[in-house]
Structure 1
């Protein structure tokens, strides 16, 4: 479910030609032709197999307009990212669906829907060109949509690869260390629920649930895992309900796993302990997308196993927390309670 963190590579013949291409990329960031078109003929190497997942109907309704302007600015391969930005910025319901007004120096929510998509797409194309010139990665470009182009320079001068630590340190500098309370579950999981007052240092984390790279092939049957996650993502943001086992009541942890696997044709027992007993125990290092992840002592009960989630790769799980969504398995809480992974027996 995560991005391939591939470096952006320009392959040229000769040092002089490389310098020439760099100059062209620099100029193209700031200069468009009379029709507003940007030269994006030098692709910066992003996966052309990036797809969306979990988008609402409101967000998907904007796809034709996004495709129109992505074609105009020659970044059609990045339509999934643009739609994910809409999902994060507005859910597809606001007028300024891409929250693009501020990239023009205007007050927030100034643009109407089509103008927002046009400007948001144009701005993203500019960031792509800037990243191309500096040989940066996908995540840097996406985070820069939130932070602004200054983050591209910051990453270029600090290792040339996106990391959350760089996003956090950049936000800290820009905010002069000022923190604000932030109740998003990702922030609660990572640092107790705050962010710096400049931009949103969690922007990459917010987009990731809406994007999947189909060039990555989980060894758990692809069609099955896809069916599991397509069903699971319908309930992202739902509250945790103890004893809940269907969409009408919402879900607890094992109620969610049982429901979504059943929709993919796999029958699981009802409780986390029973699901643990019904799977083949493996270490987390052996886990593959589609395996289950089990935990102990997350609340008081007679059972040893008290919580279960779906392993989705890159040390992440999808689970019925409060609310339902993704969680980082590297956090101290989950590490303290981790039992291991379980593979569903054929």
Structure 2
């Protein structure tokens, strides 16, 4: 009986090693092939930033766009394509590996369209839940792998994703759940291997497919050339184009888009999309964020374009320049945000 138990343990540890080694190989292959001619590096500039995915995934973009529009998450097409790349690389019928989100065994859905429809619907449900609980975008990405319980977990622990939270959630659920939303990952601990729930590296695996441009003087000039056209326009809540005028995030989204940079729509989403830095480290072209300027139900309520020397350009009322050293802006200041590289 002891020999049999030993055999089972050896098999289990061996499988765990292969799974973990396979993950390392996957990441290494992506890095080494990033600039090759194997079909990668297809740019999707219609979503949040630029995403580089395989031809096998890119062919599903029209279907993803169709259901993203149906479920109200069109601004997340790039994210959904990156998720698909991680889940299947476009090579499986259940292309978004969404069977499990319906409580079904893996690869149960029998058509690519059914998988995409369910995957997008599931993602949209996670977005809605995240919005109601005030958590960030990376929490939603990890929740696609872990399940919606991760959103509650993060909401109770500061409302911002971290790898430590992903790891602790995995440890908490290891060995106790029949639904993992992904193959388990084996990690080494105390000289041996053990399984963890889901894939705690999921956010990094998805985000590696995103590439955003580096700001430079010319790019900042393109943004400001567009934004300055609307100096003196009135602030219009919900406005996102010159025909309606703009609200704060509508102005930043429109102006940056003219420079080839696709930002999400709201101030909170733009904050979640950027790398957070103190204002003292901000450079012209970064965004600057504020809280509690009105009751919006989100932490971040206002955004402007940082110009340097504690000056910003923003959709106040009217649209124009503002001095960040004034008592009002200092009271509400969160900090700056840099578009991720």
Q: TM-score, normalised by structure 2?
A: 0.45
- The TM-score, its normalising length taken from structure 1, stands at 0.44
